[in-house]
């Protein structure tokens, strides 16, 4: 599991301090006065941490947008671009988006950077897109933060707050100039101010806010419903609030990638994260292979240093480095190969999570994304529970967990500097097997809802990952009337769904005992309970619970908007063995479906593409009845200022 060739070396702190001293010019600050931070041969990981061949394919997925002429193909916006656009999940304005990057809360603003091709709806020509929020749901687009350059594409990385400028990248701050006295208004300004109450705008001067738009259903001229399209001015937003005065600021550590090389770069932001300036002496880490990427850096208080978690992708190794100045890095240990075989390791994250329940305490969890190689095909994220001592991650056992029982959650990244050390993350809502072929054409890619993570012991006493939507309750509308306490065998109930609106369903059910638990065709041996979203065109999306096996299933195979060989139609997961009771929290938002079963112990993330709007929600019992202990259905307020079907 771990690389036992890397025995602990005494005096790591002393070595790191010496490394810093050797790389610093006394009395100087600013990126142009720093010596190079390239890793020397002594600081490189042992050879068995690298790929057996110096050069491997740098990615397990092709990048069509990097091919000659790919970005010259016209992109035609269709109704699918509106119909499948979520209203509460983040999606890019145009182009192609994948991994979340640089997730950080700077004390005032949440930053979401992301892998982005702004020129085409295909992977390639990777920049860092950027959006900001004060609530993790209402996002404002910002300018591209890191560009593709002659040095390569800007692959996945992270952002940290170098509050005290330990990197020396930030120039000295100039003393604040005294505020100028207010200017005397001109005669014209005085007249305008006097007339302002009379110069009222009409309602036609500005577009409707998303949550004020009338919801118009589909008709002959608009089969997907009416479209809310914000004005073009909505694409330009004010910059987030400036950071409070401090010696340093936001620093990005990321991978610069070419077909021949992948190295780690550092950049600093002069304007609170709007743009980043590359360090003059990049790269700060180069081990001489072209499959070395996705650094995630955090401050480890117990050992008093920055920790970088990064992958040697094709070798299936997670590498740990330490630094006290963010520029000079020493290899500490390696982990792997471990877990799934797959082709490439990507996007590692290491975080300490709280344990729920009577046990309390905390444990370290190492997340590693794998592509391709998921049990259901394509990309997947695995996790290991264990301990981290500031140098080495040691798993508790040989058991691995998967973050999802469907297949559309990948490349998760945890927020840095969250209040109260809350563990909150975004993941890319997609799978490399079909992400460039989905029916929406002018934009592709979305993020999951923000999710908070814990650990909890299951009925077999294993520590398991728990995930729940974070802060979603604030966006609920008035509850949709739908009161049901019992459903008899071979019966069901239905309710109409609001058109073009994201919905949240909360449900707790106990399926009755069946006196004769023998196989009964599609009814199930001991009864099944089914949740069905449907429409008048014969499409259905179902989530069901089988009481005999205590398993949950998800079936998107009866939706007709998208078909592709790798687009798996059905998924399932075990819940609590021998239990006839389950709880479910479900969010459906255009093409995005997220399920959280049994208070977040089992999670599914799935893209769904109906050809027509799903207009009805039904609850059904098969050959035995069911008691509904909890049932709540909410519309969710639109938070994304994007053109959507209403």
pLDDT of residue 77: 83
Label the pairing between strands 528-534 and 463-469. unpaired
pLDDT tens for 554-582 read 999 999 999 999 999 999 999 999 899 99
pLDDT of residue 242: 77
Categorize the per-residue pLDDT at 213 as very low, low, confident or very high, splitting at 50, 70 and 90.
very low
Label the pairing between strands 380-388 and 362-371. antiparallel
Has residue 46 got a pLDDT over 60?
no
User: Is residue 204 one of the residues assigned to a domain?
Assistant: no
pLDDT of residue 15: 52
Q: State the virtual CA torsion across 383, 387, 388, 391 in degrees, nearest 10.
A: -110
Q: Look at residues 469, 504, 530 and tell me which one is the last residue of a structural domain.
A: 469
The enclosing H or E element of 536 equals: none
Identify whether residues 480 and 609 lie together within a single domain: yes
Q: Yes or no: say if 482 and 633 are a contact pair by the CB < 8 Å rule.
A: yes
pLDDT of residue 151: 96
Q: How many domains does the chain have?
A: 2
Mean pLDDT value across the chain: 85
Alpha-carbon distance 529 to 543, whole Å? 9
Alpha-carbon distance 142 to 423, whole Å? 25
Q: Yes or no: say if 257 and 293 are a contact pair by the CB < 8 Å rule.
A: yes
Alpha-carbon distance 266 to 240, whole Å? 22
Identify whether residues 464 and 524 lie together within a single domain: no
Identify whether residues 288 and 408 lie together within a single domain: yes
pLDDT of residue 12: 53
List the Cα angle 161/165/166 in 5-degree steps.
Answer: 100
pLDDT of residue 203: 35
Alpha-carbon distance 478 to 635, whole Å? 7
- Of 324, 158, 146, 167, which is closest to residue 248 (Cα–Cα)? 167
CB burial readout 296-334, b (16+ within 10 A) else e: bbbebeebebbbbbbbbbbbbbbbbbbbbbbbbbbbbbb
User: Is residue 566 one of the residues assigned to a domain?
Assistant: yes
In the structure encoding, which two tokens stand for residue 287, read together?
A: 């081990």
Identify whether residues 461 and 598 lie together within a single domain: no
User: Is residue 91 one of the residues assigned to a domain?
Assistant: yes
User: Is residue 644 one of the residues assigned to a domain?
Assistant: no
pLDDT tens for 277-324 read 999 999 999 999 999 999 999 999 999 999 999 999 999 999 999 999
Sign for the pseudo-dihedral over CA of 143, 149, 154, 158: negative
Alpha-carbon distance 553 to 572, whole Å? 4
Identify whether residues 81 and 164 lie together within a single domain: yes
Domain holding 149, by residue range, is 77-168+240-469
Has residue 433 got a pLDDT over 80?
yes
Identify whether residues 374 and 455 lie together within a single domain: yes
Percent of the chain at pLDDT exceeding 90: 72
Identify whether residues 396 and 522 lie together within a single domain: no
In the structure encoding, which two tokens stand for residue 373, read together?
A: 């190689």
Q: Look at residues 469, 485, 500 and tell me which one is the last residue of a structural domain.
A: 469
Identify whether residues 423 and 544 lie together within a single domain: no
Has residue 31 got a pLDDT over 60?
no
In the structure encoding, which two tokens stand for residue 385, read together?
A: 């529970």
Give backbone dihedrals phi and psi of 192, rounded to 5 degrees, phi first: -65, -45
Higher-confidence residue of 237 and 446: namely 446
DSSP summary character for residue 336: -
Has residue 202 got a pLDDT over 60?
no
pLDDT tens for 485-522 read 999 999 999 999 999 999 999 999 999 987 776 666 67
Distance of CA 220 to the CA centre of its chain: 37
Identify whether residues 545 and 563 lie together within a single domain: yes
Give backbone dihedrals phi and psi of 415, rounded to 5 degrees, phi first: -70, 140
Higher-confidence residue of 53 and 275: namely 275
User: Is residue 418 one of the residues assigned to a domain?
Assistant: yes
Identify whether residues 415 and 505 lie together within a single domain: no
Query: Which CATH number characterizes residue 256's domain?
Result: 2.115.10.20
Identify whether residues 541 and 453 lie together within a single domain: no
User: Is residue 191 one of the residues assigned to a domain?
Assistant: no
Identify whether residues 266 and 161 lie together within a single domain: yes
Q: Yes or no: say if 124 and 117 are a contact pair by the CB < 8 Å rule.
A: yes
Give a three-class secondary structure readout of 375-407.
CCCCCEEEEEEEEECCCCEEECCCCCEECCCCC
Query: Which CATH number characterizes residue 480's domain?
Result: 2.60.120.560
User: Is residue 440 one of the residues assigned to a domain?
Assistant: yes
Give backbone dihedrals phi and psi of 463, rounded to 5 degrees, phi first: -75, 120
Q: Look at residues 452, 469, 486 and tell me which one is the last residue of a structural domain.
A: 469
Q: What is the pTM of this model?
A: 0.85
List the Cα angle 587/357/603 in 5-degree steps.
Answer: 25
Categorize the per-residue pLDDT at 38 as very low, low, confident or very high, splitting at 50, 70 and 90.
very low
User: Is residue 1 one of the residues assigned to a domain?
Assistant: no
Alpha-carbon distance 586 to 571, whole Å? 15
């Amino acid at each position: 599991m771990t690389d036992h060739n890397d025995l602990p070396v005494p005096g790591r702190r002393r070595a790191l301090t010496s490394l810093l001293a050797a790389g610093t010019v006394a009395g100087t600050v600013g990126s142009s006065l720093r010596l190079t931070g390239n890793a020397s041969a002594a600081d490189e990981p042992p050879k068995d941490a690298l790929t057996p061949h110096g050069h491997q394919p740098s990615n397990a997925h092709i990048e069509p947008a990097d091919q000659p002429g790919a970005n010259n193909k016209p992109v035609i916006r269709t109704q699918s671009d509106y119909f499948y656009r979520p209203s509460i999940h983040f999606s890019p304005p145009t182009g192609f988006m994948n991994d979340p990057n640089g997730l950080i809360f700077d004390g005032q603003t949440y930053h979401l950077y992301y892998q982005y091709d702004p020129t085409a709806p295909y992977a390639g020509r990777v920049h860092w897109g950027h959006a900001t929020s004060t609530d993790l749901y209402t996002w404002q687009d910002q300018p591209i933060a890191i560009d593709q350059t002659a040095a390569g594409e800007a692959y996945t990385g992270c952002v940290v707050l170098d509050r005290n400028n330990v990197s020396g990248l930030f120039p000295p701050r100039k003393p604040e100039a005294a505020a100028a006295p207010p200017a005397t208004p001109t005669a014209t300004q005085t007249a305008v101010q006097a007339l302002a109450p009379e110069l009222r705008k009409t309602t036609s001067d500005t577009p409707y806010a998303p949550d004020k738009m009338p919801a118009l259903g589909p008709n002959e001229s608009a089969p997907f419903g009416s479209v809310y399209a914000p004005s073009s001015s909505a694409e330009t937003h004010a910059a987030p609030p400036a950071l409070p005065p401090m010696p340093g600021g936001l620093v990005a550590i990321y991978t610069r990638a070419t077909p021949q090389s992948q190295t780690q770069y550092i950049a600093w932001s002069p304007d609170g994260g709007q743009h980043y300036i590359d360090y003059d002496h990049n790269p700060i880490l180069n081990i001489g292979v072209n499959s070395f990427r996705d650094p995630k850096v955090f401050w480890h208080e117990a050992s008093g240093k920055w920790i970088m978690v990064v992958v040697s992708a094709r070798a299936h190794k997670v590498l740990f480095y330490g630094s006290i100045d963010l520029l000079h890095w020493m290899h500490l240990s390696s982990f792997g190969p471990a877990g799934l075989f797959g082709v490439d390791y990507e996007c590692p994250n290491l975080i300490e999570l709280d344990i729920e329940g009577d046990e309390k305490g905390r444990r370290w969890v190492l997340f590693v994304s794998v592509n391709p190689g998921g049990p259901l095909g394509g990309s997947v994220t695995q996790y290991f529970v264990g301990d981290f001592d500031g140098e080495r991650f040691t798993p508790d056992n040989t058991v691995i967990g998967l973050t999802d029982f469907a297949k559309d959650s990948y490349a998760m990244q945890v927020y840095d500097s969250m209040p109260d050390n809350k563990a909150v993350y975004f993941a890319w809502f997609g799978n490399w097997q079909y992400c460039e072929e989905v029916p929406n054409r002018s934009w592709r890619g979305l993020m999951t809802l923000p999710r908070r993570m814990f650990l909890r012991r299951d009925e077999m006493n294993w520590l398991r990952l728990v995930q729940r939507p974070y802060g979603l309750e604030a966006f609920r509308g008035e509850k949709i009337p739908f009161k049901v306490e019992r459903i008899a065998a071979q019966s069901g109930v239905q309710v109409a769904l609001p058109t073009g609106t994201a919905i949240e369903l909360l449900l707790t059910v106990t399926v009755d005992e069946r006196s004769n638990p023998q196989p009964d065709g599609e009814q199930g041996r001991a009864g099944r309970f089914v949740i069905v979203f449907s429409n008048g065109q014969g499409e259905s999306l179902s989530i069901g619970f089988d009481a005999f096996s205590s398993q949950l299933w998800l079936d998107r195979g009866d939706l007709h908007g998208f078909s592709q060989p790798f687009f798996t139609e059905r998924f399932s997961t075990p819940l609590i063995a021998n239990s006839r009771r389950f709880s479910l929290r479900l969010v459906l938002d255009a093409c995005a479906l997220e399920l959280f079963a049994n208070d977040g112990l089992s999670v599914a993330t799935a893209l769904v593409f109906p050809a027509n709007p799903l207009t009805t929600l039904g609850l059904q019992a098969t050959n035995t009845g069911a008691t509904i202990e909890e049932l709540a259905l909410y519309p969710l307020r639109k938070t994304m200022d994007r053109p959507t079907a209403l």
